[in-house]
Amino acid sequence: MLWEFAIHVFVGLLLFLIIYLPAYGLSELVHWLENGTDPVLLYVMRSAEYLLVAADSLLLVAFVGKSTWRAMNKL
């Protein structure tokens, strides 16, 4: 039962990293485009980056919370 919970948390973290990597790439792209790019475009790209990280974090917390709840109920 503990192994099942650990595997769920590990898979959740892997999914978090898979979704986070494009946000990191977007951050690097914004940093690279800062000079000479329309500020509105940079604002939209930064907003998309922050939204992606926030949604990803919330989904990770929900997934780990759900796994924790199920593990506690099995005890």
**And the tokens for 36?**
């000479």
**Spatial distance between the Cα atoms of 11 and 22, rounded to a whole number of angstroms:** 18
pTM of the entire predicted model: 0.79
Task: State residue 3's pLDDT score.
Answer: 86
Q: Which residues, other chains included, contact 23 with Cβ-Cβ below 8 Å and sequence gap of 6+?
A: 49, 52, 53, 56
Mean pLDDT split into 10-residue runs, the chain, 75 residues: 86 91 91 88 92 92 91 86
**DSSP string computed for 16-51:** HHHHHHHHHHHHHHHHHH-TTS-HHHHHHHHHHHHH
The counts of H helices and E strands in the chain are 2, 0
